[in-house]
Amino acid sequence: MFIKLRIILFFVAILFFSLLLRNNSFTENALNSPQLKSKIYDFNLYKKKEAIRDAMKHAWRGYETYAFGKDELLPVSSSYNQNWGVTLLDSLDTLYIMEMHDEFNRAKKHVEKIQFNTTLPGHQTSLFETVIRSLGGLISAYELDESPIFLKKATELAELEFQKLSILTGNKTYYDKTQKFIDLMENSKKPISGLYPRDIDIFSGELSGKISVDAMADSFYEYLLKLYLMYGKNGEQYRRMYESFVDSAKKHMIFKSSGKLGLTFVSDLDYKDYLPDGHMGHLSCFLPGLLALGSKELNRKHDLETAKELMKTCYTLYETSATGLAPEDVYFNFDLNNIESASNSNFNPGANRNPKKDTDFDVENTSYVLRPETVESLMILYRVTGDSIYRTSMTKINISTGKIQWKVGCSSAQECIALSQTGFAKKLGVTQKQAEAKWEEICNSVIPIDKAFAPISQLVNTCNFLTVGDPQIDFCLGGGIRAGMLTEIAGESSAGKTQFCLQLCLTVQLPIEMGGFGGAAAYISTEAKFPIKRLSNLLPNFYNRLSIPGYTLNEIDSNCVNNQNNLVENVLKNVHTKLYLSKNQFVFAILYQLADYVERNGIKLLIIDSIAGIMRFGDQEPFTISQKDKSWVFDRDKTLFLISTQLKIIATRFSCAVVCINQVSDKFMENSERNVHDIVEKIPALGKQWSSMINARILLQLKRSNISSSVDKIEGGIVDHLNKNRRWIEAINIPWAYPRKCEFQILNSGIKSII
């Protein structure tokens, strides 16, 4: 009886569902019901949310395993930089918000052990980074968790995150110090109302330099709005300054590109006449989020449209790259004579940049260094507008970022943007499908090699500068030659490249307080034997010129030192030389032997003279290479990528300066463009790929005496040549320095600036 009943119920159920399925309107309504859609949407959203949380868990697991309590994990080598544990402090609020409570509690216990009154020997602390990461992290953790230890440690760090600390502690001292600076800025003399040149003389308070919302300026404008939001009606000064900035930026800095896409961008204004130069860095992508937040909180509805347009541009930089990752720096092409291309057309037409090009922008720096600005702006736009397109864009960027995930963390990609897939195929002379296979080869065979990437956060951790031995040249280079970086010195024959590097071999041995590193130099030659005689002759004259105690010739004589050769011998012992004429031997030495040698011998300066001499054309001359077979370009660039990465790892690991000398070629110019009085423009060898692999580029320029007449006009002034060659040193691509040029001469005592 029971079995018969089950059979009957089974057939009744089949009949019931068959009737339902025949009713199309029922099935369509059911599948399209808001309740079912909501459940499907929530499930997809949950999966995306968990994917992001998993990425954070992956990164934190690597940090906790290999670098817990240290400043930074170096994901390639599984080592670390250390001091106060900035990664831990900066991640406290993220751990809490993502409900990673076990990890948060372990981090909280470590915070109790941090001693802010001591630093490691030789460690330089960035005031700005300490404020926003260490102190900001502690204050955020306190507001979320309310554990007294966070406020206690924030107070110990003190006098950095001044205003919020005043609110939490009730100590007005911190507020007074920052308010004095805000008053100074508002009352300062500005070339354009509301816009502040990014250099401030700490003694006079005078403003100078370019106007930008990029590096060294972005946070100031961002904090004006956030200070107002923190103080409300008591912060009208901050609101006034913020609105003045936005109004002026929209008038003088925000334009449309002249290419097919017509992208809205925010441009730097150059430091001479404050005209737009088209440069926009990834850091500038904080602006759409800031404008969106201001539009909502200050009821400035017109700012939201500008925010949306800028947001579209920032995401386009990701979307149009081969990897889905955005470049660090681009230059937009624009025409200010076209009123549709600019928010204000009252500019000197000379400010235009490539107005007839079809492309909207040119990539200047192809690195992707894990910048958060675009994602943060997307989040704010989503919160303000509710438009799901911004959430979708965030998901796509998260997927692209996963391409550079290392086994213990996430590393930066030095060469992620260089070419689109079409451009990559064109460069190699192959089909797009073959180019995609080559791209996969890069991702799957080059990148997994140990030490394949050196994160920028690691590269900029130390800020030691090696003096050139001349204050004016040091100033031109933003402080000298920076430790932890790969610097290129390019120039034609006789421009002074070797002389420059020989001088560095001497300054590196000076004590730290004199601008040196107190260490040895390694000089790797690839074209000729090391010029030992030149260095021997330079040494006493150079040290005598600097009047360094214990090194001048007068002191040598008065102290009865045997002779000048003793000084020369002692210094030369600290200059290690090696000659490689074989490319294979050179590459093997760099990749597998150099790091150990640098560590054993206390090398603080590494020079390669020259990288182009051994890598420029591979094994063939360019005119012998078939147009159809350009795999040598790919192989050479892949090798250069490995070499540059290894050199940067060595630079950061041992806090030494690495310098590569590069050759140059003449830039082809039409006769109509050429002026007989001009210095022929030189282009560094090895192409754009190599340019994206270095951290800084210095160009040495030469104007031979027989090129021009005895009198010439240089940068606005009349200068007498006196029948001599003239030389200039120019910082053409140094992220921490403004573009500057300094004339110098080569004397028996070394390179010396001409004031």
Catalytic residue positions, numbered:
129, 218, 328, 373
* 52, 402 contact by CB (below 8 A): no
The Cα 604–Cα 498 span in angstroms is 18
According to DSSP, residue 116 is labeled: T
Element (H, E) at 73: strand 72-74
Rg (CA), the chain: 30
According to DSSP, residue 78 is labeled: T
Phi, psi (deg, nearest 5) at residue 406 = -90, 170
The Cα 108–Cα 89 span in angstroms is 9
The Cα 635–Cα 616 span in angstroms is 12
The Cα 210–Cα 217 span in angstroms is 10
Chain position carrying tokens 């500005």:
190
Element (H, E) at 434: helix 432-441
According to DSSP, residue 593 is labeled: I
The Cα 158–Cα 21 span in angstroms is 70
Buried b / exposed e across 358-375, counting CB within 10 Å, b at 16+? eebbebbbbbbbebebbb
Residue 714 makes CB contacts below 8 A (sequence gap 6+) with 743
DSSP letters spanning 524-586: EESSS---HHHHHHHHHHHHHHHT-TTTSHHHHHHTT-S-HHHHHHHHHTTEEEEE---HHHH
Whether residue 610 has a cis bond before it, omega within 30° of 0: yes
Half-sphere exposure in the Cβ direction for 185 (13 Å, CA): 23
* 332, 354 contact by CB (below 8 A): no
Strands 405-406 and 409-410, bridge-based pairing: antiparallel
- ∠ CA 344-348-349, nearest 5°, is 95
Residue 201, number of CB atoms within 10 A of its CB: 9
Buried b / exposed e across 233-269, counting CB within 10 Å, b at 16+? eebebbbebbbbbbebbbbbbbbbbbbebebbbbbbb
